[in-house]
Structure formats: C-alpha cells, structure tokens
C-alpha cells in the first residue's frame, strides 16, 4: 500500500495543477488518472480565456445572474494567474491575451451587455462597452450586424494541448507521482482523515483526498458515499483549416452561443456551448465511456452564428468537429472546497475550468495546506450539504 499525504483523482488540468501546487508546498502527492493525462475535457476544450461573465449566466433570469456574478471575483484572480503561468512553468503555452469582444446584434442584447458591464465593474473587471463602429475599428473582420460589444483587454486564449502536460511535468519535477492507467475503483474511509483507494495496480492510502475527475466527479464521489451535484454535459467544437493570422481576439456573443478565436497553429476554433448528445446506458444513466454523438443541428447553428459575426469564415473549410464532456453544477458556480460530511475530502471542478482551473488549483492547494482561503467561501461543496444529510461515513 502506497502512502501519501494527498491523493488526487483525475489527471486533467485541475488535478495536475493541484498536484503541482501541493507538491511545491512539500506534500507527498499521488495523482491517479484512469487513462492518459489531458485526455478528458482539459485536452478537448476550446482554450478560451473568457473573463467576462458568460452568456449562460445571463440567460436564466435576474436572480441567477445576480448569484452567478459572484464568479467575477474568481475571474479577476484568474487574469493574474494566466499572466504568470508561462513564466512559472517555463513553458510555451501559446498564451495570447490580446483582448476579447463580446458582441451584440440586437437592442435587447445591448441591454444585456449594459447590465453585465455594470455587474463586472462592481467586481473589479475593467470591461468597456463600445459601439459597433468602435468594435470594428478594433476588429475589422466583424460584421456590420454587430452594433455593440463589451471589450476586455485581458481576454484571449491558450493552448489546451500544452497546458496540462506542462503542469504534469512541473508536478513530477516538484516530486508528485502521477500514475496513468490507474482507474480508482473504490474509496474506503476506515477512519476520519484516512482514505484508502483501490486501483488495479495497487492501493494508495492518504490523509486527504481531492476529487478532480471532471465530468466523472459525481460518480467518483459516490465511491465515498457522497452526493455531488455536478452533472456531465457534452459540447461540440469545430476547427477550420489553418490560415494566416487574421483574428487576434477572442470573440463571444452575448445573445447567441458563440466563441471563436484563431489558435496559435492558425486554425480558427469555433464553439460556444453547442451541445452534442451523450450516450445512454441500457439502464438509463449517461454513458461517459462512449463518445458523445455529434449534433448536426448544433453544427449548423454554431457555424451560422460564427459566419453572421465574422463573415469571412464562410469561405474557410471545416476540417474537424469533435465532442467532449465536461461538468457543470446545480447552480452554475464551480464546486471548490472541502466536503463537510467527510473531513479530508476535497472537490474541485465544474464550469469553465480551462479559464479558472489554475486558480481553483492554487486556492485549494492553499486550503488543503491549512490556510484560510476566503476566496473559496462562496464556492465550497458546503452549499449543497443538505444533499448529504443521509450520506458520508455512515
């Protein structure tokens, strides 16, 4: 039985970043990854660094928008984390923070932008609302139909292909053990502050356990007899052929599902939360082992939105559409913090964790190291503790 201070389940961005931060603090860390690191959502995402409030937070009415706006405090921290990361890791992650524009095409959408900008200003994000011509002066490739945009100079994109491998390498260099092909099959809690994990390749025992298993987190938490209101969702992404640099910004839409940017290699990546369809098991649950099926409706809708906003895209060839599975939570906010019902058990995930994952990992490593981390107060699993009234170490 291998002994560790901290065991981490999941070798995505969050797991690898947490392993690195915890190992830097001197903890003995063992990370267990079922497959290969970066094979989950962390290697399949769009690479957007979006620090403006996301459209999905704004479309569910005032109350939820108000609550979700709290995420802006994390966004502010994430800007700083992203500015520092290439230097800290000594790796080229193709980070580009040349600014982002969230566009509007109708009057109602402009009103949404206005409300959004007010919330963001309150949280300390320097978002600027500009009209269509000013947007086109910055980004001449935008269509005439764009009548306003929110501009945030910190936004941009980075390379999901590079980030998690660089974090895994840094974690290893700092002394963490990262074991691939090690699916955790059972979690035992024989005593408070003791977790015993079983894998086909042997067992691990640790005083603290971090679940960073992305879309699988709820199933993994079930192994510890805990309910975690994180649900898997399948998304679809598109890549064009490579072209010469043409689109330096991250482009999003406040009223339609759209995010697009030109990646370092030259391909334009087009997404924005268009759903794919998850496979279903014969007993009715979602089958995360099978690849989600592409939705042609999403494909056409996504490309329509992209072309409406950036007309020159119509001529480019689509070379690849892919699907990936990520996790969102019951109230849209991430779940990052300790599980009250089982001392020593921690969770980090949910939401846009490419943008925010580095920040989650840094904060949770501090918290697991015994620091009081106020920034996480709003995001801990404690807010769902009622779901676990009948669960835990019974």
Ligand X SMILES: Cc1cc2nc3c(=O)[nH]c(=O)nc-3n(C[C@H](O)[C@H](O)[C@H](O)COP(=O)(O)OP(=O)(O)OC[C@H]3O[C@@H](n4cnc5c(N)ncnc54)[C@H](O)[C@@H]3O)c2cc1C
* Residues of the shown chain interacting with another protein in the complex, contacts defined by CB under 8 A: 36, 38-39, 43, 161, 165, 180, 239-241, 265, 270, 291, 293-294, 296, 299-300, 303-304, 306-307, 313-322
Q: Which of residues 364-383 bind ligand X (CB under 6 A)?
A: none
Residue 55's contacts (CB-CB under 8 Å, 6 or more residues apart) are: 102, 252, 253, 254, 255, 256, 257, 272, 273
Quote the CA–CA distance of 41 and 272 in Å, as a whole number.
15
Residue 75 interacting with ligand X (CB under 6 A) = no
Q: Which residue, 8 or 110, has its beta carbon nearer to ligand X?
A: 8
C-beta of residue 103 within 8 angstroms of C-beta of residue 309? yes
Tokens of 250: 């991250």
Supply the minimum distance, in Å, between the C-beta of residue 213 and ligand X: 4
Name the CA dihedral angle for 264, 259, 123, 210, rounded to a multiple of 10 degrees: -70
Residue 183 interacting with ligand X (CB under 6 A) = yes
Backbone dihedral region for residue 48 (phi beyond 0: left; psi -120 to 50: alpha; all else: beta): beta
Nearest by Cα to 144 from 156, 153, 136, 152: 136
Q: Which of residues 258-287 bind ligand X (CB under 6 A)?
A: 271
Residue 224 interacting with ligand X (CB under 6 A) = no
* 194-199 vs 184-191, strand pairing mode: antiparallel
Using the contact rule CB under 6 A, the part of the chain among 58-66, 209-217, 368-376, 384-392 near ligand X is 209-217
C-beta of residue 349 within 8 angstroms of C-beta of residue 229? no
User: At 378, phi and psi to the nearest 5?
Assistant: -80, -15
Residue 158 interacting with ligand X (CB under 6 A) = no
291 binds, among ligand X, another protein, none (CB under 5 to 8 A by kind): another protein
Between the two ends of the chain, the Cα-to-Cα distance in Å is 24
Helix 353-368 / helix 13-24 crossing angle, nearest 10 deg = 30
Q: Which residue, 43 or 232, has its beta carbon nearer to another protein?
A: 43
> Which listed residue (29, 47, 204, 208) binds ligand X by CB under 6 A?
47
Residue 41 interacting with ligand X (CB under 6 A) = yes
Q: Which residue, 110 or 226, has its beta carbon nearer to ligand X?
A: 226
C-beta of residue 381 within 8 angstroms of C-beta of residue 339? yes
Residue 93 interacting with ligand X (CB under 6 A) = no
353 binds, among another protein, ligand X, none (CB under 5 to 8 A by kind): ligand X
Residue 355 interacting with ligand X (CB under 6 A) = yes
Residue 324 interacting with ligand X (CB under 6 A) = yes
Using the contact rule CB under 6 A, the part of the chain among 21-29, 82-90, 295-303, 352-360 near ligand X is 352-360
Give the count of residues interacting with ligand X (CB under 6 A): 40
Quote the CA–CA distance of 253 and 256 in Å, as a whole number.
5
Identify the three-state secondary structure at position 113. Answer: helix
Supply the minimum distance, in Å, between the C-beta of residue 301 and another protein: 8
296 binds, among another protein, ligand X, none (CB under 5 to 8 A by kind): another protein
Residue 42 interacting with ligand X (CB under 6 A) = yes
Quote the CA–CA distance of 331 and 348 in Å, as a whole number.
15
Using the contact rule CB under 6 A, the part of the chain among 56-64, 323-331, 339-347, 375-383 near ligand X is 323-331
Identify the three-state secondary structure at position 340. Answer: coil
Q: Which residue, 161 or 198, has its beta carbon nearer to another protein?
A: 161
226 binds, among another protein, ligand X, none (CB under 5 to 8 A by kind): none
C-beta of residue 334 within 8 angstroms of C-beta of residue 328? no
Tokens of 9: 């389940």
Residue 349 interacting with ligand X (CB under 6 A) = yes
Supply the minimum distance, in Å, between the C-beta of residue 38 and ligand X: 7
Query: How many CB atoms lie under 10 A from the CB of residue 297?
Result: 10
- Give the footprint of ligand X on this chain (CB under 6 A): 9-15, 32-35, 39-42, 44-48, 183-184, 212-216, 220, 235, 237, 271, 324-326, 349, 352-355, 357
């Amino acid at each position: 039985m291998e002994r560790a201070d901290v065991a981490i389940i999941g070798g995505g961005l969050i797991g690898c970043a947490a392993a690195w931060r915890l190992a830097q603090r001197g903890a003995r860390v063992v990370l267990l990854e079922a497959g290969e690191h970066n094979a989950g959502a962390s290697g399949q995402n769009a690479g957007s660094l979006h620090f403006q409030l996301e459209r999905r937070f704004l479309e569910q009415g005032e109350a939820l928008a108000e609550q979700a706006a709290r995420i802006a405090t994390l966004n502010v921290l994430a800007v700083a984390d992203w500015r520092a990361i290439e230097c800290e890791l000594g790796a080229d992650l193709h980070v580009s923070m040349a600014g982002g524009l969230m566009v509007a095409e109708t009057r109602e959408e402009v009103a949404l932008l206005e409300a959004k900008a007010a919330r963001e200003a309150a949280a300390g994000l320097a978002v600027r609302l500009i009209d269509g011509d000013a947007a086109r002066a910055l980004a001449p490739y935008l269509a005439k139909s764009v009548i306003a945009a929110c501009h945030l100079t910190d936004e941009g994109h980075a390379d999901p292909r590079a980030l998690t491998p660089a974090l895994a390498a840094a974690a290893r260099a700092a002394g963490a053990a990262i074991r691939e092909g090690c699916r955790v099959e059972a979690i035992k809690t024989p005593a408070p502050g003791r977790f015993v994990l079983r894998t086909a390749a042997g067992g691990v025992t640790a005083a603290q356990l971090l679940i960073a298993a992305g879309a699988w987190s709820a199933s993994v938490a079930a192994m510890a007899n805990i309910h975690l209101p994180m649900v898997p969702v399948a998304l679809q992404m598109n890549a064009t052929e490579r072209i010469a640099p043409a689109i330096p910004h991250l482009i999003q839409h406040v009223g339609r599902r759209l995010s697009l940017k030109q990646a370092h290699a030259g391909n334009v990546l087009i997404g924005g939360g268009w759903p794919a369809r998850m496979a279903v098991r014969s007993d009715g649950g979602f089958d995360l082992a099978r690849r989600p099926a592409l939705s042609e409706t999403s494909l056409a809708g996504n490309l329509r939105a992209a072309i409406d906003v950036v007309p020159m895209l119509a001529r480019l060839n689509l070379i690849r559409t892919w699907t990936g599975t990520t996790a969102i939570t019951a109230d849209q906010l991430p779940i990052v913090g300790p599980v009250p019902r089982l001392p020593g058990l921690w969770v980090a995930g949910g939401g846009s964790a490419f943008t925010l994952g580095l920040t989650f990992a840094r904060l949770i490593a501090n918290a697991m190291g015994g620091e009081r981390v106020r920034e996480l107060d709003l995001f801990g699993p404690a807010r769902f503790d009622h779901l676990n009234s009948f669960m835990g170490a019974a």
